[in-house]
Structure 1
Amino acid sequence: MNGKFSSDRRIVKTDDFSSVFRMRPCARTEHFVLFARLNQLTHARLGIVVAKRFAPRAVTRNTVKRVCREVFRCMQMPAFDCIIRMTSAVNARKGPATSSRLKRILREEVYRLIASRKTNQKNRLW
């Protein structure tokens, strides 16, 4: 697997987001919630929603998205549309916008989020 996360592996259309959001959340962590649904493609796709109220600085929002894409790309996923949505703030406004500690925490939490979905659904399609 190469190091790129191509555009065909991303959910970008509003209709695609809406169809996945209609499903119940599959897994939750302290800062994120995961929605997933089967797709008709041969690969998994990812959508990420990071609200400005939870990460007011663009640097932080971009870091969250980058970490989510990295973890998703590295995990072997079946043909699902997945959306990771941030539900609470990851750092304070007074603290640094991004740091290696924040990236490590985000990476671990997103990995747990996706892995918990996979272990909870072993008997099902995923």
Structure 2
Amino acid sequence: MGSNGSTGEGSHDFARARRIVKTDEFSSVFRLRPAQKSAHFVLYTRQNQLPHARLGVVVAKRFAPRAVTRNTIKRLTRELFRTTGLPPIDCVVRLAKPVNTKANPATSTPLKAALRIELARLFASQTKARQ
């Protein structure tokens, strides 16, 4: 069991209720215009009727061919989502440009830091915009 327990709906968990998992849920968020764009990501948002925010992450193989890269991006995104106090919205983060180069793979510390800053700015824009 993790340090925050396996059940419980605390603000820093990523329980199934906080995920967007169904295709039609993704589609309904994608139908709207992108809320924010950054160098590598596009953030789509939509109000929801739940007491909390939900997250979906889309990392295409064509932009991140290695599984380790895709998983790193998803992990970073989920971590920032958990620690950012978002209003009750559905967020879908989509990788929009390739992140890997042989000289600078996405698992390298400098690129991870840059991606973390990008994602933090995207989420921060939503906390300000919805207040």
TM over 0.5: yes
SS for the counterpart of 2:45 is: strand
Query: Which portions of structure 1, spanning 4 or more consecutive aligned residues, are displaced by more than 4 angstroms?
Result: none
CA contact (8 A) 2:47 2:89 kept: yes
Alignment of 1:1-126 (within 5 A): 1=10, 3-93=12-102, 95-96=104-105, 98-119=107-128, 121=129, 125-126=130-131
Q: Say what the alpha-carbon RMSD is for the aligned residues.
A: 1.7
Comparing 2-11 and 15-24, the one that deviates more: 2-11
Q: Deviations over 1:16-39 (max 9, x none)?
A: 001000111000000001000011
Q: TM-score, normalised by structure 1?
A: 0.88
Q: Counterpart of 2:30 in structure 1: which amino acid?
A: F
Q: Report the alpha carbon displacement of residue 6 of structure 1 after superposing the two structures with TM.
A: 1.2
Q: Counterpart of 1:102 in structure 2: which amino acid?
A: L
Structure 1 distance, partners of 2:61, 2:85, is: 30
Q: Counterpart of 2:64 in structure 1: which amino acid?
A: A
Q: TM-score, normalised by structure 2?
A: 0.85
Q: Counterpart of 1:77 in structure 2: which amino acid?
A: L
Q: Which runs of no fewer than 5 residues in structure 2 stay unpaired?
A: 1-9
Query: What percent identity do the matched residue pairs reach?
Result: 57
Q: Which runs of no fewer than 5 residues in structure 1 stay unpaired?
A: none
Structure 1 distance, partners of 2:49, 2:109, is: 37
Q: Report the alpha carbon displacement of residue 94 of structure 1 after superposing the two structures with TM.
A: 5.8
